[in-house]
């Protein structure tokens, strides 16, 4: 590595565009990469003769630059890397600025002509003999600390009234410069950080407790795919594969996307994968403690511009940190909310930059970090994301046999468990999702019934035998699948990349008398819309239910979809 540790010095009298470095340190490079506290950013270098003013071991820059690093910590190294070039800095697609004290057009022209390197901060730009402040409000693509303005960059100026309504994106919101490694502790959490811009998301690692063997019924193919994937994180297995088949087939384990209808075990399987990694593989011996980090897409989303991207970066930063002394399984539930298809015309600008930010983070995944995403709506995901999740696994709605196991898994602690006819219960609950059984049929109402039998003296203890349980089952209607299918019926074409899912939706639509495509109009549709099927696919809401036929469930355990190279275009 051609980087040197120099002493940082800040001043106010020079523009933010250039940092001063001794000639011998930069050789002939016109650009340097500054790296401090795990954060990096690019600047033009202004070489200074080494003996003048004794710059030899120093690097000088405008004090605003220090904010990018969350302030300067003199006990940590401050690296200057001159082995970089303009090509290392991502081109800016769009920047939003506010200028005071100079004509906007002039600043825009200057930035284009000089291929200005912008940062999320108040830049100070030379204008004749003056320095004018240029507040950078946002930059796209997001996820970079530095972007290069080009002729193609869309430069927009924020008016004074707009500016009052919004705070600029926090300094240091990028995840390192282009090509830079994972950016250490996230933006704004250092002593010099701006507390106003602290990122408001905290992912607490937990020990995975659900296991394939004890808690996940059926899904044999899913388990098999997961075990194979985990094997590729095991260095010994990797070596073996390399020995037998060559290096090309021995790459590290990839990230995994779990998709399928709601309530059929995606979240459960994710935790069980972490449990498997921890308890049934050599991963822990190789890397250290396995931890499970769970993030809900919805918790990341924010209505403030740039905030969702910052949270994504913060989440990945936390995962990198956890992975540092162990192995992290980072699970994104509802992942579709974080990687919406950028070609969707109805998307807002910030939603596209969220996809960019997520994909950018997915490019920098170390060996001891496994990312799992789960979604009910794979067809809304950006095609470029499918390459970041090379292992894609359909989680089907279970058949009777697996439903029997779902009952058993949930009731095996009952004293009379041996006498319950789980097979029968399984057969009767085809058409329900496991979540409907676990959370609704065997949920809080049943618990209350049990508790009341204990609390009230006049009640007798209940024996929850097969008939008793069937009664509870028959008191509830299966709604999830119907609602789900009616909400996705118009998107069948977008399901092409997900054949198991397509087949599943077709089967269930037929089962429930729901017509597919935009045509609409069938009786099933009317019933479905009466049931509140609209857009809330995952919900198990309280909408009144029409119909009430019991579907046949369908959906055998689908074959695992190992890398298929369903490459999409256009990731930035
Ligand atoms: N294969 C299974 N074996 C046993 N129980 C299951 C299985 N699948 C689901 N369940 C039960 O259903 C509950 C909900 O499942 P889970 O949350 O994993 O579904 P999901 O696919 O993530 O749903 P959503 O799409 O709504 O997030 C689980 O907590 C568990 O009790
Ligand atoms: Mg879930």
Model confidence pLDDT, tens digit, residues 401-417: 999 999 998 888 888 98
Quote the mean pLDDT of the chain. 80
Range from 95-99, 487-491, 555-559 carrying the lowest mean pLDDT: 555-559
Find, among 88, 97, 200, 113, the residue nearest to 156 by Cα.
97
Ligand having the closest approach to the CA of 399:
1
* pTM passes above 0.85: no
Q: What is the pLDDT of residue 408?
A: 92
Pairing mode, strands 154-157 and 94-99: parallel
Q: What is the pLDDT of residue 198?
A: 58
pLDDT of 151 higher than 50 = yes
Ligand having the closest approach to the CA of 483:
1
Range from 50-54, 115-119, 323-327, 417-421 carrying the lowest mean pLDDT: 50-54
Q: What is the mean pLDDT of residues 522-545?
A: 39
Q: Which atom of ligand 1 is nearest to the CA of 540?
A: 26
- How many C-alpha atoms does 224 have within 13 Å on its Cβ side? 11
Q: What is the pLDDT of residue 247?
A: 79
Contact 434, 398 (CB under 8 A): yes
Q: Which atom of ligand 1 is nearest to the CA of 262?
A: 25
Q: What is the mean pLDDT of residues 442-467?
A: 85
Query: At a CB cut-off of 8 Å and minimum separation 6, what does 568 contact?
Result: 382, 383, 384, 385, 386, 387
Question: What separation in Å is there between the alpha carbon of 289 and the centre of ligand 2?
Answer: 25
* The residue count for the chain: 572
Q: State the pLDDT confidence band at 24, using cuts at 50, 70 and 90.
A: confident
pLDDT of 58 higher than 80 = yes
Question: What separation in Å is there between the alpha carbon of 226 and the centre of ligand 1?
Answer: 17
Q: What is the mean pLDDT of residues 416-436?
A: 92
pLDDT of 523 higher than 90 = no
Pairwise pLDDT comparison (497 vs 154), residue with the higher score: 154
pLDDT of 3 higher than 60 = yes
Residues 75, 36: Cα–Cα separation, whole Å: 11
- How many C-alpha atoms does 275 have within 13 Å on its Cβ side? 16
Candidate ranges 36-40, 181-185, 245-249, 565-569; pick with highest mean pLDDT: 36-40
Q: State the pLDDT confidence band at 7, using cuts at 50, 70 and 90.
A: confident
Strand intervals (E) in 250-395: 256-259, 290-296, 327-333, 369-375, 391-394
Range from 94-103, 323-332, 388-397, 534-543 carrying the lowest mean pLDDT: 534-543
Q: What is the pLDDT of residue 521?
A: 42
Give the Cβ contact number of residue 85 at 10 Å.
11
Q: What is the pLDDT of residue 325?
A: 83
Q: What is the mean pLDDT of residues 368-377?
A: 93
Q: What is the pLDDT of residue 538?
A: 36
Q: State the pLDDT confidence band at 61, using cuts at 50, 70 and 90.
A: very high
Q: What is the pLDDT of residue 563?
A: 35
For residue 73, which phi and psi values (nearest 5 degrees)?
A: -110, 105
Find, among 426, 358, 429, 423, the residue nearest to 388 by Cα.
358
Q: State the pLDDT confidence band at 78, using cuts at 50, 70 and 90.
A: very high
Count Cβ atoms within 10 A of the Cβ of residue 156 and give its class: 0-12 exposed, 13-18 middle, 19 or more buried: middle
Pairwise pLDDT comparison (492 vs 157), residue with the higher score: 157
Residues 478, 447: Cα–Cα separation, whole Å: 20
Query: pLDDT tens, 307-317?
Result: 889 999 999 99
- Would residue 509 be called left, alpha or beta, if left means φ above 0 and alpha means ψ between -120 and 50 degrees? alpha
Query: At a CB cut-off of 8 Å and minimum separation 6, what does 403 contact?
Result: 217, 425, 426, 427, 429, 430, 432, 434, 437, 553
Residues 528, 509: Cα–Cα separation, whole Å: 11
- How many C-alpha atoms does 519 have within 13 Å on its Cβ side? 8
Question: What separation in Å is there between the alpha carbon of 267 and the centre of ligand 2?
Answer: 4
Q: What is the mean pLDDT of residues 47-68?
A: 79
Q: What is the pLDDT of residue 172?
A: 41
CB-based pocket (< 6 A), ligand 1: 216-219, 262-268, 374, 376, 406, 409, 434-435, 438-439, 538
Q: State the pLDDT confidence band at 54, using cuts at 50, 70 and 90.
A: low
Q: State the pLDDT confidence band at 167, using cuts at 50, 70 and 90.
A: low
Ligand having the closest approach to the CA of 271:
1
Residues 487, 485: Cα–Cα separation, whole Å: 5
Q: State the pLDDT confidence band at 527, using cuts at 50, 70 and 90.
A: very low
Count Cβ atoms within 10 A of the Cβ of residue 413 and give its class: 0-12 exposed, 13-18 middle, 19 or more buried: exposed
Question: What separation in Å is there between the alpha carbon of 429 and the centre of ligand 1?
Answer: 15
Q: What is the pLDDT of residue 194?
A: 38
Could you give the 3-state DSSP secondary structure of residue 81?
strand
Range from 148-152, 235-239, 389-393, 514-518 carrying the lowest mean pLDDT: 514-518
Could you give the 3-state DSSP secondary structure of residue 58?
strand
Q: Which atom of ligand 1 is nearest to the CA of 398?
A: 1
Q: What is the pLDDT of residue 337?
A: 92
Q: State the pLDDT confidence band at 144, using cuts at 50, 70 and 90.
A: confident
What angle separates helix 499-511 from helix 480-488, to the nearest 10 degrees?
110
Query: pLDDT tens, 275-297?
Result: 999 999 888 988 899 999 999 99
Question: What separation in Å is there between the alpha carbon of 476 and the centre of ligand 1?
Answer: 18
Residues 179, 168: Cα–Cα separation, whole Å: 25
Q: Which atom of ligand 1 is nearest to the CA of 260?
A: 21
Q: Which atom of ligand 1 is nearest to the CA of 269?
A: 18
Residues 550, 470: Cα–Cα separation, whole Å: 14
Q: State the pLDDT confidence band at 447, using cuts at 50, 70 and 90.
A: confident
Query: pLDDT tens, 110-141?
Result: 999 999 999 999 999 987 777 888 999 889 88
Q: What is the pLDDT of residue 252?
A: 65
Query: pLDDT tens, 192-251?
Result: 333 334 567 878 888 899 999 999 988 999 999 999 999 888 888 888 888 998 877 777
- How many C-alpha atoms does 430 have within 13 Å on its Cβ side? 15
Could you give the 3-state DSSP secondary structure of residue 10?
strand
pLDDT of 72 higher than 90 = no
Contact 416, 465 (CB under 8 A): yes
pLDDT of 326 higher than 50 = yes
Query: At a CB cut-off of 8 Å and minimum separation 6, what does 38 contact?
Result: 176, 183, 184, 185
Q: DSSP of 406-436, one letter per residue?
A: HHHHHHTTSTTGGG--HHHHHHHTBTB-HHI
**Residue closest by Cα to atom 15 of ligand 1:** 265
């Amino acid at each position: 590595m051609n980087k040197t540790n120099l002493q940082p010095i800040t001043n106010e009298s020079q523009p933010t565009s250039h940092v001063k470095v001794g000639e011998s340190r930069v050789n002939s490079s016109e650009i340097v990469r500054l790296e401090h506290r795990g954060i990096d950013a690019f600047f033009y270098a202004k070489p200074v003769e080494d003996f003048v003013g004794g710059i030899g071991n120093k690097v000088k820059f405008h004090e605003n630059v220090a904010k990018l690093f969350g302030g300067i910590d003199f006990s940590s190294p401050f690296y200057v890397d001159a082995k970089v070039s303009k090509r290392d800095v991502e081109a800016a697609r769009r920047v939003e600025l506010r200028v005071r004290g100079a004509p906007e057009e002039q600043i825009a022209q200057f930035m284009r002509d000089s291929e200005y390197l912008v940062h999320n901060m108040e830049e100070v730009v030379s204008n004749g003999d003056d320095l004018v402040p240029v507040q950078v409000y946002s930059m796209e693509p997001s996820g970079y600390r530095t972007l290069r303005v080009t002729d193609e960059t869309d430069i927009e100026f924020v008016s004074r009234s707009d500016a009052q309504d919004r705070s600029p994106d926090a300094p240091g919101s990028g995840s390192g410069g282009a090509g830079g490694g994972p950016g250490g502790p996230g933006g704004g959490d250092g002593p010099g950080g701006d507390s106003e811009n602290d990122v408001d998301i905290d992912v607490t690692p937990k020990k995975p407790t659900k296991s394939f063997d004890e808690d996940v019924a059926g899904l044999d193919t899913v388990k098999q795919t997961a075990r194979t994937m985990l094997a590729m994180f095991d260095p010994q297995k990797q070596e073996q594969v390399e020995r037998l088949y060559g290096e090309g087939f021995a790459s590290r384990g990839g990230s995994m996307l779990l998709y399928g209808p709601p309530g059929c075990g995606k979240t459960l399987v994710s935790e069980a994968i972490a449990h498997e990694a921890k308890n049934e593989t050599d991963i822990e011996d190789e890397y250290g403690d396995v931890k499970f980090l769970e993030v809900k897409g919805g918790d990341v989303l924010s209505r403030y511009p740039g905030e969702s991207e910052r949270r994504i970066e913060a989440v990945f930063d936390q995962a990198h940190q956890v992975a540092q002394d162990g192995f992290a399984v980072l699970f994104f539930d509802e992942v579709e909310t974080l990687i919406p298809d950028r070609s969707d015309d109805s998307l807002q600008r910030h939603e596209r930059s969220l996809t960019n930010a997520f994909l950018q983070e997915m490019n920098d995944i170390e060996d001891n970090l496994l990312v799992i995403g789960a979604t009910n709506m794979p067809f809304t995901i950006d095609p470029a994301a499918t390459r970041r999740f090379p292992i894609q696994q359909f989680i089907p709605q279970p058949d009777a046999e697996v439903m029997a196991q779902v009952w058993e898994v949930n009731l095996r602690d009952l004293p009379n468990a041996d006498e319950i006819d789980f097979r029968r219960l399984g057969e009767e609950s085809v058409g329900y999702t496991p979540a409907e059984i676990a959370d609704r049929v065997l949920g809080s109402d049943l618990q209350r019934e049990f508790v009341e039998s204990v609390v009230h003296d006049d009640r007798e203890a209940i024996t929850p035998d097969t008939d008793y349980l069937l009664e509870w089952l028959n008191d509830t209607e299966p709604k999830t699948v119907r609602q789900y299918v009616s909400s996705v019926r118009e998107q069948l074409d977008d399901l092409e990349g997900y054949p198991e899912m397509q087949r599943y939706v077709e089967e269930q639509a037929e089962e429930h008398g729901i017509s597919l495509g935009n045509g609409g109009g069938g009786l099933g549709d009317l019933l479905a819309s009466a049931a509140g099927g609209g857009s809330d696919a995952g919900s198990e809401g309280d909408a009144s239910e029409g119909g009430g036929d019991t579907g046949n469930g369908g959906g055998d355990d689908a074959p695992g979809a190992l890398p298929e190279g369903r490459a999409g275009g256009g990731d930035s």
